[in-house]
Every structure is written in C-alpha cells, then in structure tokens.
Amino acid sequence: MTPPRTPRPALARLSIVVPCYNEAAVIGETVRRLQALCDSLPDTQAEMIFVDDGSRDATRVLLRGFAAQDQRIRVIGLARNFGHQLAVTAGIDAAGGDAVVLIDADLQDPPEVVAEMLARWREGYDVVYGTRTERPGESWFKLASARAFYRLLNRLSDVPIPLDTGDFRLMDRAVVEVLKAMPERDRFIRGMVSWVGFRQLALPYRRAGRFAGETKYPLRKMLRFAGDGILSFSTRPLQLSIGLGFLSAGLALLGMLYAVVVRLVTTEWVAGWAAIMVAVLFVGGVQLVSIGILGEYIGRIYHEVKRRPLYVTEEEIGARGRNEV
C-alpha cells in the first residue's frame, strides 16, 4: 500500500514494550541493548516498559534496580503469571508513545531492527512487523509446527494474517488505540493487529537464538496459543462440524436404506450387525467431535461474558510520560 503523503512529525515518542517471565538470565543484557538502541535513535524520546508477568525468579528485583537508575525504564508488575499475550496487552495499555514497539525479552528479536522499523514508520507506515527469515537455535519441531500453524491459520482465518510473523512489531498510536478498544479475552495480538488494517509493512529480519534461559512456551502453551489463533479468527471449525454432520447423516441414510432392503428381500437380515456397529460408532464419533468444537466456542463465550479484567497489576514503577520534557 502507498504511504500517506504527510510524513510524521520529526520528534517522536516511542514506547518499547517488553514482556518478561523468568528472564533473570537475560534481562541485564536486554536492558543494556535496549538502552543502547534508545541512545542511538535520533529525534526520539523513548520509554522502555518492562512487564513482569509474575516471574518466580529475580526478574522483578533486577527490573526495579534498572528503573531506579534510568528514568526511561518503567516496570509493570503483574499479580501473577497471565501469559505472554496479556503481559503484552498490559504494556500496550501503559504505553504513552506515538509509536509502540513489542519485543521479546530474550533478545531473539534484535533491538537494532527497531531503528529500521522507526524509519519505515516515519515514512508513513502504521504497522511495521518483523517477518522471520531464519530462526537458528530453535528445535526442528518448533520450526515445523510454527510453519504448519501459520499456513493452516491463514487458510481458516477470515483475515489474512502474515506468515512467519510473531509479535515483534511497531505500531502507530492510531492502531494502538483500536487495539485497546478490542476487549476480547483470548488474545491473539498478531491477528488482531492484522484485523485493524491501516498501512502495514513486512520487515524481514533474522531471528536470533535465545540469548540465555529457556523457552517459556512449552508444547501445552503452544497448542493453546494456536487454538486461540484459530478459534478467535475463524468460524470454519463450526462449518467443518456441520460438514461432518451432513456426511455422516448421508452415510447413515444409505445404511438405513440398505438395512430396509435387506430386511424386506432377504431372509438373512441378522447379518449386517457389523455395518450397524460401524454406522453407530461413526455417527457417535462425528457427534462428539462436533459437540467438542461447539464446546470450545461456548467456553470462549463464557470467558468473554464474565468480563473480568484482562490482567491485574500489583506494582507500577514510573508513571506514564515521566520522562517527557
């Protein structure tokens, strides 16, 4: 898409949102690299918002120390572990910048790429998202499952969601405001940002391995995240269950005709027990699958109507805009 003709103002306020969960092993290095980045950005007033997602290690204590030394650092401590997407949401809600960057704490997303994102934003793009060209240091299983997931999601989703793209991105204030007005509980932020629209640009980058520590996304969380992505962006599974229902009803009808014919024209109508068993089991299976899919959506509706807050903050260091001049 073409960038707008009006370029952005020369002086920009930038918020960098960093979700952290048990990242004590890397956080010092991450802070150092982000500080260096902020120092190097011309005409930019930066704030770094570290969201501690209920870490059980020294992450919070370390962050308090960094915030005491650097006015640009803000810390939001959540009351427990709410998960990556909600930690990012807490950071976005707190951010005061004209542009907001989301970046992981483990240095897999190189902070230096942010300078390039900012330049593209100044040209007039509203969302600049990082697309991974390489991902060294990840298991083949993670790579293969992520690859398959993004392709499946795109087939099912009503909104095109960019392939091989995580949450590493820069968003304009206009996009952030729309995002903040989206109250859904099961959040799949990369999809929500695609849904918003505006001028979005892909920025290819090389995703590094983790600097230290280990992944906080075990298989269980990955599956849940994948489920959120598909169920919040598609009603195709419901259509699939209707399709399965029709298929099984069709087969059952054939089976019924067969049973009637056999009963009327032959004497061996006890035979066919196997066919009945197959039909019963098949229909039963299809029904269970369909009810399960329905249940997933209903569970989400229940989750939505409870209208609980998305996250609970127990500590906040550094008020919004305290480093503004």
Q: Which residues are near ligand UDP by CB under 6 A?
A: 19-21, 23, 53, 81, 83-84, 87, 104-106, 108, 215-217
Q: Which does 19 bind (CB under 5 to 8 A by kind): ligand UDP, Mg ion, none?
A: ligand UDP
Nearer to ligand UDP, 57 or 123 (CB): 57
CA–CA gap between residue 50 and residue 287 (Å, rounded): 46
What does 287 bind: Mg ion, ligand UDP, none (CB cut-off 5 to 8 Å by kind)? none
Quote the CA–CA distance of 89 and 87 in Å, as a whole number.
Answer: 5
Q: How far apart (Å, rounded) are the C-alpha atoms in residues 231 and 31?
A: 35
Nearer to ligand UDP, 84 or 199 (CB): 84
Among Mg ion, ligand UDP, none, what does residue 21 contact (CB within 5–8 Å per kind)?
ligand UDP
β-pairing, 44-52 vs 12-20, is parallel
**Residue 77 per-residue DSSP state:** E
**SS3 of residue 30 by DSSP:** helix
Smallest separation, CB 279 to Mg ion (Å): 49
Q: 52, 44 in Cβ contact below 8 A?
A: no
CA nearest to 276, candidates 251, 243, 241: 251
CB of 59 to ligand UDP, least distance (A): 8
φ, ψ at 203 (rounded to 5°): -120, 110
Distance, C-alpha 258 to centroid of its chain: 50
Whether residue 80 contacts residue 106, with contact meaning beta carbons closer than 8 Å, is answered with no
Bridge partners for 313 per DSSP: 78
Q: Helical H runs in 197-272?
A: 219-233, 236-265
Shortest Cβ 222–ligand UDP spacing (Å): 8
Q: How many residues does the chain have?
A: 325
Query: 47 touches which of Mg ion, ligand UDP, none (CB within 5 to 8 A by kind)?
Result: none
CA distance 245 to 243: 5
The site partner of 13 among Mg ion, ligand UDP, none (C-beta below 5 to 8 Å per kind) is: none
54 or 255, CB closer to ligand UDP?
Answer: 54
Q: What angle do CA 20, 23, 28 make, to 5 degrees?
A: 100
Task: Identify which of residues 19 and 191 has a Cβ nearer to ligand UDP in the complex.
Answer: 19
Between 49 and 293, CB nearer to ligand UDP: 49
Minimal distance, residue 13 CB to ligand UDP, in Å: 23
The CB density around residue 93, as the number of other CB atoms within 10 Å, is 18
20 binding partner (options Mg ion, ligand UDP, none; Cβ < 5 to 8 Å by kind)? ligand UDP
Minimum distance from residue 162 beta carbon to ligand UDP (Å):
17
Residue number, 142 or 236, with CB nearest to Mg ion: 142
Rounded to the nearest whole angstrom, what is the least distance from the CB of residue 271 to ligand UDP in the complex?
56
**Spatial distance between the Cα atoms of 22 and 85, rounded to a whole number of angstroms:** 15
Query: Site residues (CB under 5 A) for Mg ion?
Result: 106, 108
Q: Which does 229 bind (CB under 5 to 8 A by kind): Mg ion, ligand UDP, none?
A: none
The DSSP 8-state label assigned to residue 271 in this structure reads T
CB of 83 to Mg ion, least distance (A): 14
Of 51 and 286, CB closest to ligand UDP: 51
Q: How far is the CB of 247 from ligand UDP (least distance, A)?
A: 37
- Which residue, 198 or 217, has its beta carbon nearer to Mg ion? 217
81 binds, among Mg ion, ligand UDP, none (CB under 5 to 8 A by kind): ligand UDP
